[in-house]
């Protein structure tokens, strides 16, 4: 296993995802002789995991079962230990596409934070690209480095512990893209420009507040970036539910039930597993929005470095 | 692969023209008239320049790299504070339509026309600074025609298709496509199954993310895969070495073990395929003969507006070429035809063999068809613990697909989602959202495959349902104390 290459079977040293149920999972480092406790009982790595196929159902000691999944940057994002606020896959997907990343791209990132975006960037630029990531918090930088090693991707990433606003990315004229997720991105635009290739490249800055965006846009313009564009992407998740609505009794009753115009209590032709059919109800499938959703993560400002 | 020498515009390249927010994909060819945004020009002079260069159209349709001009704002700025005294009497512009037309005909630079318009506007000085800004921007947009030539990418092509021909890509908005690539964990080395009827845009996006590493099996309906958008990417030849295609109509026989290449409806497929692959070439031949650009070559459909008519237009164009090809082919010797047929059978066998391993690293579906039957069959070819993503323009079919997948089992973490995209205008003291795009971007159903225990499907299904339904209740309970 590695985060940039699928493997079939679970091996000693792998990072695997234990899937307990809907939105309920956690990562586990697979090691001979180790056990992991779940609410369904104990998983013994040597016998229950190692050598099994990814995607297997594993029965735990109390008879309950879990699925063991191959790690991906997206699963990692949902399960990683937070050291900072992180970027989620919805924003990451737009960042990756709008920065035009692909195998072979050289990317600069700051700050590394919890490495949520970093894993996704590494996945996309592998096997021939590289990520230069800068984190001014020493402990976080070290922790990220350690994770990259564990996940088999350290050859694709260079972690530097310095202040990007003061010292830049530590590279110049090599990047195809730069990503900034720092409190004052406008102070790093100059460094971003010099990190990018002479023939140009793309930049993205993530900021939660519009005031940060305004200063960043001004700085980008000042440094000659073009195509400056600010976007916001929001994820809407729907629960799939079978809903039944009662038909009101308006006193029409017996004589003329069919003329109400409803397919009353006909199990929908979608073959939904609807059980207690009552008379006088209409059933249908609906995608119901969650009661509470993320309304704002941050503004994404993209721009192009044009030729000199 | 990118960068270096290929960063320059070369003859034969696939490039994208950009004016403000409008894009058009073209092939760079000499002496070929291009019509873009009501202007015509030749790309000859662009050859040799670096991608990203901005050009001005000069008389005779030549392109000239735009010089960075110092804004001529030497005169002291004068501006009003509000519009209480500005009356719309329709007489504020002293230049008439004819005057402006005369200026244009004289070949005067757009920049100067804008300057004249400002000077001849009686209300300009009374406008607020912001209004003046807006006025100038608007006029510049109209009279200063500058075109930037950029390298194609998924970002550019998906934006272009969504704006120009949403009907051809089933209204798949670019941020939705971005989600698909991420949710599908598309990366170098994958073995992907792609089933799309999005003109080859989704295929191209997957190819870009795989960078020529790994393999792709494109499932196609009808006589052959459509790759008009794929060709706009200008991928290097090796990217196509591990691109396979397999007809949807053969899926059931492959799954049931009765697949053979003998029953191939070979002829029509062969022709469309050949035509598809030799597109670049035949186009070059044609353009050397004719000056105008009216025929719907790969990039030409971009010009036609009512999106719904696209498919028929394309088929007609294919028909014409198909007939031409057929005539040509009749003349060619039969042996060559046999070789081609043999090669095609070989390719089909290869694709069948790849699918039969049932170990694909993911499945991407984005088509005009009902997703449920596609998913139920194609998921058989995917290895366990791999992501799959289905796009549909409408939510309802995905609701059904969700239910059917649950009944089938072998999938977890099913998620039905949609993204909203909001664009912002960011200017000092004038920042606000530009436009919402809440509707029309389509919906995604994604999930992860797991090992399907045959026979237990029913019980595991009910268990899965038990697992998922109450868990959302659990979540709510967990949420409460926070």
Work out the pLDDT band at B329, boundaries 50, 70, 90: low
Instruction: Mutation target for A interface from B1, B16, B153, B187: give the one with most A CBs within 10 A.
Output: B187
- The mean predicted confidence, pLDDT, of chain B is 80
Selected residue with higher pLDDT from B460 and A248:
A248
Strand runs labelled E in B351-431: 362-366, 387-392, 411-425
Radius of gyration over alpha carbons of chain B, in Å? 27
Distance from CA of B343 to the nearest CA of A (A): 31
Given a cut of 50, whether residue B411 has pLDDT beyond it is: yes
Given a cut of 90, whether residue A97 has pLDDT beyond it is: yes
In this predicted model, what pLDDT tens digit does every residue of A143-192 receive, in sequence order? 999 999 999 999 999 999 999 999 999 999 999 999 999 999 999 999 99
In this predicted model, what pLDDT tens digit does every residue of A215-259 receive, in sequence order? 999 999 999 999 999 999 999 999 999 999 999 988 865 555 554
Cα–Cα distance between B446 and A298 in angstroms, integer?
24
Work out the pLDDT band at A289, boundaries 50, 70, 90: very high
- The mean predicted confidence, pLDDT, of chain A is 91
Residue B212: its chain A contacts at CB < 8 A? 103
Distance from CA of A110 to the nearest CA of B (A): 21
Strand runs labelled E in chain A: 15-21, 24-29, 35-38, 41-44, 57-59, 65-69, 106-110, 130-134, 157-160, 177-180, 201-207, 225-246, 281-289, 299-305
Mean pLDDT along residues B56-73: 70
Q: Picking from A178-192, B177-191, B237-251, B431-445, which range would have the lowest pLDDT averaged per residue?
A: B431-445
Q: Among all chains, which residue has been given the structure tokens 């507040």?
A: A209
Tell me the percentage of chain B whose pLDDT exceeds 70.
75
Mean pLDDT along residues B284-297: 36
Distance of CA A195 to the CA centre of its chain: 26
* CA-based nearest residue to A168, from A157, A178, A155, A156: A178
Residue B413: its chain A contacts at CB < 8 A? 19, 22
Q: What is the pTM for the complete model shown?
A: 0.84
**Using the beta-carbon criterion (under 8 Å), do B449 and A236 form an inter-chain contact?**
no
pLDDT at residue number B63: 79
Mean pLDDT along residues B314-338: 65
pLDDT at residue number B274: 39
Q: Picking from B141-150, B398-407, B455-464, which range would have the lowest pLDDT averaged per residue?
A: B455-464
Q: Picking from A262-276, B152-166, B209-223, B396-410, which range would have the lowest pLDDT averaged per residue?
A: A262-276
pLDDT at residue number B455: 56
**Using the beta-carbon criterion (under 8 Å), do A214 and B395 form an inter-chain contact?**
no
pLDDT at residue number B404: 97
pLDDT at residue number B472: 39
Mean pLDDT along residues A99-110: 98
Given a cut of 60, whether residue B272 has pLDDT beyond it is: no
The listed range with the strongest mean pLDDT (A181-195, A285-299, B24-38, B267-281) is A181-195
**Using the beta-carbon criterion (under 8 Å), do B386 and A70 form an inter-chain contact?**
yes
Given a cut of 80, whether residue B370 has pLDDT beyond it is: yes
All residues at 6 or more sequence positions from B426 whose CB lies less than 8 Å from its CB, including other chains? A210, A213, A214, A217, A228, A230, A301
Cα–Cα distance between A16 and B67 in angstroms, integer?
56
**Using the beta-carbon criterion (under 8 Å), do B451 and A69 form an inter-chain contact?**
no
Cα–Cα distance between A198 and B75 in angstroms, integer?
35
From the CB of residue B465, how many other CB atoms can be counted at a distance below 10 Å?
13
The listed range with the strongest mean pLDDT (A66-75, B42-51, B99-108) is A66-75
Q: Among all chains, which residue has been given the structure tokens 């023209």?
A: B17
Nearest to B183 among A67, A68, A74 (CB): A74
Q: What is the dihedral of CA A126, A127, A128, A130, to 10 degrees?
A: 40
Given a cut of 90, whether residue B77 has pLDDT beyond it is: no
Q: Among all chains, which residue has been given the structure tokens 């320059």?
A: B8
**Using the beta-carbon criterion (under 8 Å), do A74 and B472 form an inter-chain contact?**
no
pLDDT at residue number A50: 96
pLDDT at residue number B303: 39
Given a cut of 70, whether residue B285 has pLDDT beyond it is: no
Cα–Cα distance between B419 and B454 in angstroms, integer?
35
pLDDT at residue number B76: 57
pLDDT at residue number B288: 34
Given a cut of 60, whether residue A107 has pLDDT beyond it is: yes
Q: Is the ipTM of this complex over 0.90?
A: yes
Mean pLDDT along residues B419-428: 94
Work out the pLDDT band at B96, boundaries 50, 70, 90: confident
Distance of CA B423 to the CA centre of its chain: 19
Q: Among all chains, which residue has been given the structure tokens 């791209």?
A: A105
Residue B182: its chain A contacts at CB < 8 A? 74, 89, 92-93, 96, 120
Mean pLDDT along residues A55-82: 94
Name the residue of chain B whose CA is nearest to A103's CA: B211
Q: Is A236 helix (H, G, I), strand (E, B) or coil?
A: strand
**Using the beta-carbon criterion (under 8 Å), do A103 and B423 form an inter-chain contact?**
no
Mean pLDDT along residues A64-75: 96
């Amino acid at each position: 296993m590695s985060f940039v290459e699928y493997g079939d079977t679970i091996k000693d040293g792998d990072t695997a995802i234990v899937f307990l149920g809907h939105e309920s999972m956690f990562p586990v480092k697979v090691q001979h002789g180790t056990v992991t406790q779940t609410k369904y009982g104990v998983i013994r790595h040597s016998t229950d995991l190692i050598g099994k196929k990814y995607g297997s159902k594993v029965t735990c000691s109390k008879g309950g079962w879990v699925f063991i999944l191959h790690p991906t940057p997206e699963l990692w994002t949902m399960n990683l230990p937070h050291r900072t606020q992180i970027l989620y896959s919805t924003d990451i997907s737009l960042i990756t596409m709008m920065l035009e990343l692909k195998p072979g791209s050289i990317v600069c990132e700051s700050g590394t934070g919890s490495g949520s975006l970093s894993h996704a960037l590494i996945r996309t630029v592998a096997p021939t690209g590289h990520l230069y990531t800068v984190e001014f918090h020493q402990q976080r930088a070290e922790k990220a480095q350690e994770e990259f090693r564990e996940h088999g991707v350290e050859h694709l990433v260079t972690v530097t512990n310095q202040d990007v606003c003061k010292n830049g990315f530590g590279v110049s004229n090599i990047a195809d893209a730069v990503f900034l997720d720092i409190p004052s991105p406008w102070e790093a635009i100059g460094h971003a420009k010099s990190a990018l290739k002479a023939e140009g490249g793309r930049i993205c800055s993530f900021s939660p507040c519009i005031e940060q965006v305004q200063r960043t846009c001004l700085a980008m313009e000042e440094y000659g970036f073009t195509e400056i564009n600010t976007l916001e992407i929001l994820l809407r998740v729907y629960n799939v539910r079978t809903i039944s609505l009662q038909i009101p009794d308006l006193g029409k009753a017996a004589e003329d039930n069919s003329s109400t115009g409803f397919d009353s209590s006909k199990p929908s032709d979608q073959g939904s597993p609807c059980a207690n059919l009552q008379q006088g109800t209409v059933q249908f499938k609906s995608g119901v929005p969650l009661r509470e959703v993320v309304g704002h993560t941050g503004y994404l400002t993209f721009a192009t470095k044009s030729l000199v | 692969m990118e960068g270096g020498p290929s960063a320059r515009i070369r003859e034969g390249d696939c490039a994208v023209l950009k004016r403000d927010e409008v894009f058009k994909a073209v092939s760079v060819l000499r002496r070929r008239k291009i019509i873009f945004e009501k202007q015509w020009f030749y790309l000859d002079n662009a050859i040799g320049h670096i991608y990203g260069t901005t050009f001005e159209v000069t008389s005779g349709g030549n392109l000239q790299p735009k010089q960075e001009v110092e804004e001529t704002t030497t005169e002291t700025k004068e501006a009003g504070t509000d519009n209480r005294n500005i009356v719309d009497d329709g007489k504020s512009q002293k230049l008439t339509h004819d005057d402006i037309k005369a200026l244009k005909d004289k070949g005067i630079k757009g920049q100067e026309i804008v300057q004249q318009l400002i000077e001849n506007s009686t209300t300009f000085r009374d406008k607020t600074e912001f209004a003046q800004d807006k006025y100038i921007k608007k006029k510049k947009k109209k009279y200063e025609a500058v075109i930037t030539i950029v390298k194609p990418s998924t970002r550019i092509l998906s934006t272009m298709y969504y704006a120009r021909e949403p009907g051809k890509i089933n209204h798949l908005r670019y941020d939705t496509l971005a989600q698909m690539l991420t949710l599908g964990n598309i990366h170098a080395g994958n073995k992907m199954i792609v089933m799309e009827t999005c003109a080859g845009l989704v295929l191209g996006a997957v190819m870009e993310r795989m960078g020529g590493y790994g393999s792709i099996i494109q499932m196609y309906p009808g006589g052959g895969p459509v790759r008009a958008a794929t060709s706009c990417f200008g991928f290097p030849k090796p990217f196509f070495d591990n691109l396979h295609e397999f007809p949807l109509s053969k899926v059931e026989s492959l799954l049931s073990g009765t697949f053979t290449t003998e029953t191939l409806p070979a002829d029509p497929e062969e022709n469309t395929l050949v035509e598809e692959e030799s597109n670049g070439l035949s186009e070059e031949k044609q353009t050397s003969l004719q000056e105008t650009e009216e025929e719907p070559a790969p990039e030409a459909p971009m010009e036609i507006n009512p999106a719904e008519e696209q498919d028929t237009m394309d088929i007609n164009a294919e028909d014409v070429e198909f007939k031409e090809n057929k005539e040509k082919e009749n003349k060619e010797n039969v042996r060559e035809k046999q070789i081609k047929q043999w090669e095609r059978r070989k390719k089909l066998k290869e694709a069948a063999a790849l699918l039969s391993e049932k170990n694909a690293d993911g499945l991407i579906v984005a088509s005009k068809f009902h997703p449920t039957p596609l998913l139920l069959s194609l998921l058989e070819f995917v290895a366990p613990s791999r992501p799959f993503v289905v796009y549909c323009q409408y939510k309802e079919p995905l609701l059904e697909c969700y239910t059917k997948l649950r009944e089938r089992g072998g999938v977890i973490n099913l998620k039905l989602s949609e993204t909203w995209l909001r664009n912002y205008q960011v200017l000092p003291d004038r920042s606000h959202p530009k436009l919402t795009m809440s509707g029309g971007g389509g919906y995604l159903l994604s999930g992860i495959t797991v090992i399907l225990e045959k026979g237990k499907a029913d019980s595991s299904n009910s268990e899965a349902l038990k697992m998922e339904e109450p868990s959302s209740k659990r979540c709510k309970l967990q949420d409460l104390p926070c």
